[in-house]
Amino acid sequence: MKIICIGRNYTKHIEELHSERPNEPVIFMKPDSAVLLKQHPFVIPEFSEDIHHEIELIVKINKVGKYIEPKFAHKYYDEISVGIDFTARDLQQKLKDKGLPWEKAKAFDGSAVVGDFLSKSHFNSVENLTFELTNNSKTIQKGNTSLMLWKVDEIIAYVSEYFTLKIGDIIFTGTPEGVAAVKPNDVLEGFLEGHKLFRIQVK
Ligand code: MG
């Protein structure tokens, strides 16, 4: 199983990080060892002083695919959820400044929170879903998939030009604005259209 992540997919998030608006999707990956085990706390790693939360819509691939056309992409996933792409922002900035790959800042153990999946048939459209991250019951990040620069089906098509998608692969589709540091004792909960899909304690 692999995790493919899209960066810079929401305009206001691009602006808050003063990043360049991309002409095509920004892709990076996390290994399966990045998945935070169910019921486990997220332990802030020692190599970073600035671990940011990034709540994202995630989709699970249900069929092997390569060179998928956008009009057929909807057939390659049935289940969706929300997750967190934890990012060591201080380390990522150092790597970006040197033009180096981001993996140490993005793909470390526990950096991928994967919520419980729901059938996409529960919802009218994947392209108009509100999702939210709370900390101790207070909203800290909120987005809507209608604001994505690249829609889920376009992402699947684009990614599959480079990487064969396999059953169980997960795609993180990018974070909206509002990323910020987490700290010990935070309790992070992720919601998709009001359904609570994960609860994580930070240590
Ligand atoms: Mg992200």
CA of 122 to the centre of ligand 1 (A): 25
pLDDT band at residue 47 under the 50/70/90 scheme: very high
Distance 57 CA to ligand 1 centre (A): 10
Distance 61 CA to ligand 1 centre (A): 18
Asked whether the beta carbons of 34 and 110 are under 8 A apart, the reply is yes
Mean pLDDT of all residues in 123-128: 97
Separation of CA 56 and ligand 1 centre (Å): 7
Looking at the DSSP assignment, which residues form a beta bridge with residue 117? Answer: none
Residues in contact with 192: Cβ distance below 8 Å, sequence separation at least 6, in sequence order: 57, 80, 81, 82, 115, 118, 129, 130, 131
Residues 135-189 have pLDDT tens digits of 999 999 999 999 999 999 999 999 999 999 999 999 999 999 999 999 999 999 9
Q: What's the 71 CA to ligand 1 centre distance in angstroms?
A: 25
How many angstroms does the Cα of residue 111 sit away from the middle of ligand 1?
Answer: 10
Distance of CA 139 to the CA centre of its chain: 18
Closest by CA to 171, choosing from 89, 68, 42, 92, is: 68
Could you tell me the distance, in angstroms and rounded to a whole number, from the CA of residue 63 to the centre of ligand 1? 24
pLDDT recorded at residue 127: 97
pTM above 0.75, yes or no: yes
The Cα–Cα gap between 34 and 113 comes to 8
Return the number of other C-beta atoms located less than 10 Å from residue 97's C-beta. 8
Q: What is the whole-number distance in angstroms between the Cα of residue 116 and the centre of ligand 1?
A: 18
C-alpha of residue 172 to centroid of ligand 1, in Å: 7
Fold of 3-39+47-201: Fumarylacetoacetate hydrolase; domain 2 (3.90.850)
Cα 106 to middle of ligand 1, angstroms: 8
DSSP H helices, the chain, are 11-16, 89-97, 103-106, 152-162
Q: At 4, phi and psi to the nearest 5?
A: -110, 130
Query: In sequence order, which residues have a C-beta less than 8 Å from that of residue 37 and are 6 or more positions away?
Result: none
Q: Find how far residue 138's CA is from the centre of its chain.
A: 20
Query: How far apart are the CA of 34 and the centre of ligand 1, in A?
Result: 14
Q: What does pLDDT average to over the chain?
A: 97
Across the strands, what pairs with 195? 192
